[in-house]
Amino acid sequence: MSAHCPRRISTCAARNFDSNRSRYATRHASACTSPMLAASCFRASRTRVRVSRRMDPYPVQSSRSPSFARSAHTIRPPESQWQRFASSDRKAGVSELTIRTATEADFDDVLTLFLPVFLQEIEDKDDEWYRNEWEPDRLLLVHDADELIATAAILTRQMTLPDVGLRPFAAVTTVAVKTGHRRRGALTKMMRTQLHDLHEQGREPVAALWASEAGIYGRFGYGLASQYLRAHIPKGVPFRPGTDVGKDRVRLVSREEALPLVTALYDRVAPQRTGWLSRDERAWAGYLWDTPHWREGASPLKFAVHPDGYVIYRTKRKWGERGPEGELNVLELVAATPVGAAALWRFLLDFDLVGEIEAPIPVDDALINLVQDPRQVVRTQRDALWVRLVDVDRALVERRYSAPLDTVFEVTDVLCPWNQGRWRMVVDSSGSATVERTDADADLLVDTTDLAAAYLGGVRLSDLAAAGRVRELTPGALIPASRAFLGDQHPFCPQVF
């Protein structure tokens, strides 16, 4: 399932992402706030403020409220703001919303709510596929009296972080609010509860999701950490002269023959590619689920393998006035070597009766440098993973960094006050980091949203600073921090969850 709708395989690559994303797309209230909200107030205020137990300890700051009291460790918003978020469900004539964890008995009710939110028909539900992704103990349900009105889940997964391989993260998914119940605080209640539970239970220090709408998650501390390209390439595009495609043949094989080969190759490559996810047998079963009503008129999944890679794709027959204009839609192309990548792309580009190949590719994919005329690769950039640092200190030490660093971050975080305050981050020559609280003067002022955006190494802190989202407090502190966070590859997540 997904911070989107549960992942299904669509007819084409961009549609494999975009159509999938409409399926996976999470349903949430639309809003966003400036991550630097009241930054000067935060720096000026050094007084500890006790949070009233009558108030929610993890309030969400409104973009309409530019001023509120801050301290290094705790925060209390104005009563009017609290009433807007926490009491929005207590208006006259409206019952209070309740939240709980799902049980096995909730399965049908969850799908009955979830599918229509994502414009899917109840009659088309695939119980077996949804059961494959079902983790009820990590699924939150919001009720209005006896009516289920919202859901949000976490899948237990691992993701590759810069230079350290796979690490646990909370894959947020199945976020939906029933039509007619928006703007009552259900989404805020679920997001707050998820983060609070992860922190209190000492579980994954990082959460991530795919968003149905890009403006939703910033107010909950999620930063856009990776993007991908939707590529359209006409058949027959030539490579640069001298490109080595090797002597090994790309072979079409059956699904049964392909599975052990592709899983072994994926396990070989995934720990080296930032943003890639772990896949056990259950995850592979869900990823390659292939029932006819999900194909949108295209073929079943096809598999082509090479000693150093594989490609999974669909084809769709299409004829125009000038002849064949078939579609070849890539689900996934994985290569362990440059020769493997070149051979697989050449296989696709020389496919008979195909007019165009569509594929989701990384921002730095080899294809762009393989072809003689890069303009032939028409690219549209799309947002991909949105990342949230649940516990700043635990999250920052999980990955490695590109350069030594010794800096103090002053962190703002209105939803998770345990992250508020100043943190000293020291990176040694090996790229390993230590992070601890400090009373020293801050060098950089950041919101957790911006640390999260830079977390996978694909976003420069200096670029965020140019947009006014990161503030340099000590002259000369920004560039070393920006270099340290930057990875040697653009993060890419090949799988919507």
**Active-site positions?**
217, 497
Q: Cα torsion at 272, 275, 276, 278 (round to 10°)?
A: 100
Does the annotation place 177 within a ligand binding site? yes
Does the annotation place 186 within a ligand binding site? yes
CA distance 382 to 226: 9
Backbone angles phi, psi at 127, to 5 degrees: -55, -40
Does the annotation place 212 within a ligand binding site? yes
CA distance 194 to 142: 12
Six token digits for residue 291 = 């029932």
Backbone angles phi, psi at 62, to 5 degrees: -80, 140
Task: Confirm if 188 and 414 have CB atoms less than 8 A apart.
Answer: no
CA distance 73 to 411: 10
What lies within 8 Å, CB to CB, of 279 at 6+ separation is 263, 266, 267, 270, 287, 495
Q: Where do runs of H (alpha helix) occur along 332-391?
A: 338-349, 367-370
Does the annotation place 427 within a ligand binding site? no
Kind and range of the H or E run holding 146: none
The 3-state secondary structure of 218-266 reads HHHCCEECCEEEEEEEECCCCECCCCCCCCCCCEEECHHHHHHHHHHHH
Nearest of 161, 174, 162 to residue 25 by alpha carbon: 174
Radius of gyration (C-alpha) of the chain in whole angstroms: 24
What lies within 8 Å, CB to CB, of 201 at 6+ separation is none
Does the annotation place 60 within a ligand binding site? no
Task: Map tokens 């299409």 to a residue.
Answer: 318
Does the annotation place 175 within a ligand binding site? yes
Nearest of 476, 417, 395 to residue 443 by alpha carbon: 476
Does the annotation place 399 within a ligand binding site? no
Does the annotation place 22 within a ligand binding site? no
CA distance 211 to 189: 18
Within 10 angstroms of residue 406's Cβ, the number of other Cβ atoms is 14
Backbone angles phi, psi at 427, to 5 degrees: -110, 125
Does the annotation place 185 within a ligand binding site? yes
Task: Confirm if 160 and 276 have CB atoms less than 8 A apart.
Answer: yes
Extract the annotated binding site for acetyl-CoA: 175-177, 183-188, 212-213
Extract the annotated binding site: 175-177, 183-188, 212-213
